[in-house]
Structure 1
Amino acid sequence: MGVVSGALLPSRRRVLGRVREALSGAPMLAVGILTTLVFVAVFAPLVAPHDPLRPVPGVGLLAPPVWQGGSWSTPLGTDFQGRDVLSRVIYGARVSLTVGVVGTVVAGFIGLVFGVVAGYLGGWVDQLAMRVIDAWLALPSLIFAVFVALVMRPSQWTIVVILGLVYWTRYARVIRGEVLSLRERDFVRLAEVAGASRWRIMRRHIVPNILNTWMVLASLTVGVVIILEASLSFLGLGIPAPTPAWGSMVADARALVFAGQWWHVAAPGVLIAATVFATNMLGDWLRVRLDPKQRNL
């Protein structure tokens, strides 16, 4: 095992160093947007000017002060119940980002296990795994999510499970393809000859070499997961009231848009779009930086 763990094996330190090098030059706009959103979500109780669940005392339905009849104590106006829109989108960032990130991790973990096992073991295991993936992909994502949401009791963690079940296949297919190539490499063959178990080979030699691919897929999935969560909330199947989430805020205010009260929808809608834009930009950048072939172009 001394030869196997030497120069022929890409070291874990080298992989982590490559990731740090990639992140050191990440696009500043995407990093700035995501850093701001994460900061606001983490420190929501300190940043939000009002309680997001209760009406602002002595205030009814108000527009933003830059529009008409508003007050700077509620910079984005208030909703139909007199609750501060700014405070709700700040707390909504905490909910939506948590669901998006955790849902992405759940999907990524399921897809990683499925893809690595199917790709490395091959044979009937691979064939069975591919049939399961093909059948899963045949289900429309939104319809499947709506069906599961109708069956399960709505909650934040129910939505996380649903999102993980919807998007794990995009990881499994790509990772399986990577593993099919890796298992033919010399360092894997040497580990097999040295008597390493299949579990050890997958854990020590396969998984570290697909982390780059996994990271890119995860960064590109977060935005899609947030959109699906917003879609479920818009349909009334997502985060239950009165918990603020961007999608449910848009759903609650959709009728008010036709009455000219656009500010209810504008703030959460812009934040959803900004989050998707930033995660996709970061994902595309990581894909180029972590792929030596594209990085040298």
Structure 2
Amino acid sequence: MTQTTTAPAAEPRTSDAGEIHADPSASGWKLTLREFLQNKLAVAGVLILIFFVLFAFLGPMIYHSDQTNTNLLSTDQGPGSGAPLGTDSRGFDILGRLMLGGQTSLEIGFFAALIATVIGTLWGAVAGLIGGIVDAVMMRVVDVLLAIPFLLVVLIVAHRYGSNTFNLSLILGVFSWLIPARLVRGETLTLRVRDFVSAARVMGGSRTRLIFRHLIPNAMGTVIVNITFQIADAILALAALGFLGFGIQYPNTDWGSQISDAQTALLNGYWWEVYPVGIALVLVVMAFNLIGDGLRDAVDVRLRKR
């Protein structure tokens, strides 16, 4: 009769003095999560964001409304049983319109932040690692682009190439990578003199390997924190474009375009055309800022509560 043996589970390391040390990477993430969950404002931001994501993407499956064809017989009607939040100047159900605008605003916000983060992270990592004249030239390019009015350039490009979800995501992302580039470059300047990077250099690691295997992974804390602020900034920029008439075109919509369409609503006493979309926009941007603040405090050891 043979006995089968199983490999023992991984155990924490024990020092000569008998102290038990857990896996540092696992304990680091657990500590970060614990610190984040202890931040009540950050948790509130997560809950608000979850609500609006469900509201925008799952809401239309439950609450059905026609957001394509206008209904001029029911324009500017107040909240009632047929339309819980009333109708706008085209006869669209505002609750359904709010869901549709939320989808567009969140999608463009996420995609634009992703594009900006990828470009900025690569640019900053390359500049910080190579250093010297290459770093100086690359960062002067960033300084010059930062001096150009962001909204003016986006308005011109959006007007030239059209306003749809893909184009606006690309435009906002391409013109929003400058801040991530400076942040990642600063992290890279700190990381490149660390022992593990020096060891990788001695072992013959290429610059590509150093960037993707050592520098960017160790700068992910800064990148993750920044991406939440990037999403909030992209949503606000989209709202500004929509308010100025360069947002998503009819029959689609975004929250900024809805506010633009309802500019005269308050003067006529149609508060339901402005307040719901305004509150949604403020809450979503606030949620991302709260999450970003919470992540920053949790990731940065110096800001953790003891």
TM-score (norm 1): 0.89
**What letter is aligned with 2:280?**
L
> 1:246·1:272 contact (CA, 8 Å) conserved in 2?
yes
Deviations along 1:262-284, one digit per CA (max 9) or x if unpaired, are 21111111111001111111111
- Residue 100 (structure 1) aligned to one of 94, 98, 109: 109
Deviations 1:76-133 (A, max 9, x none): 1001121100000011111100011111111111100100011111122211111110
CA contact (8 A) 1:48 1:90 kept: no
- Which residue of structure 2 lines up, in the alignment, with residue 68 of structure 1? none
Residue 158 of structure 2: aligned partner: 149
Which 4+ stretches in 1 moved above 4 angstroms?
10-26, 55-58
Contact persistence 1:101–1:222 (CA under 8 A): yes
Identity percentage of aligned residues: 35
Q: Aligned-pair distance for 1:16?
A: 5.4
The yes-or-no answer on 1:251 pairing with 2:260 is yes
User: Where does residue 44 of structure 2 map in the other structure?
Assistant: 29
Match of 1:159 among 164, 168, 171: 168
- 2:243 alignment counterpart: 234
CA distance 1:237–1:58, change in 2 (3 Å):
closer
Are 2:272 and 1:263 aligned? yes
Q: After the TM superposition, which residues 131-146 of structure 1 pair with which residues of structure 2 at under 5 Å, given as runs? A: 131-146=140-155
Larger radius of gyration: 2
Could you tell me how far apart the structure 1 residues matched to 2:213 and 2:260 are?
A: 47
The 2-side partners of 1:17 and 1:286 are apart by 13
Q: Equivalent of 2:294, from 285, 293, 296?
A: 285
**Residues 243 and 260 in structure 2, CA contact (< 8 A), matched pair in contact too:** yes
Alignment of 1:40 onto 2:55: yes
- CA change 1:127–1:296 in 2 (3 A) is same
Aligned length, in residue pairs = 282
Aligned partners of 1:72 and 1:171: how far apart in 2? 47
Kindly indicate whether the alpha-carbon contact (under 8 Å) linking 2:121 and 2:184 is maintained by their aligned counterparts in 1.
Answer: yes
Contact 2:35–2:304 (8 Å) recurs in 1: no
Offset of 1:25 from its aligned partner?
4.4
**Cα deviations across residues 160-196 of structure 1 (Å, max 9, x unaligned)?**
1111122100100111011001000000000000111
Q: Match of 1:67?
A: none
- The code of the aligned residue for 1:257 comes to L
- Confirm whether residue 122 of structure 1 aligns to residue 122 of structure 2: no
Structure 1 unaligned blocks of 5 or more: 1-9, 65-70
Quick check: 1:182 aligned with 2:197?
no
Give the AA of the match of 2:158.
Answer: A
1:170 pairs with 179, 191, 194, which one?
179
Deviates more, 1:206-215 or 1:26-35: 26-35
Q: Which runs of 5+ in 2 are unaligned?
A: 1-22
Per the TM alignment, residue 23 of structure 1 is displaced from its structure 2 partner at its CA by 5.0
What is the TM-score with the length of structure 2 in the denominator? Answer: 0.86
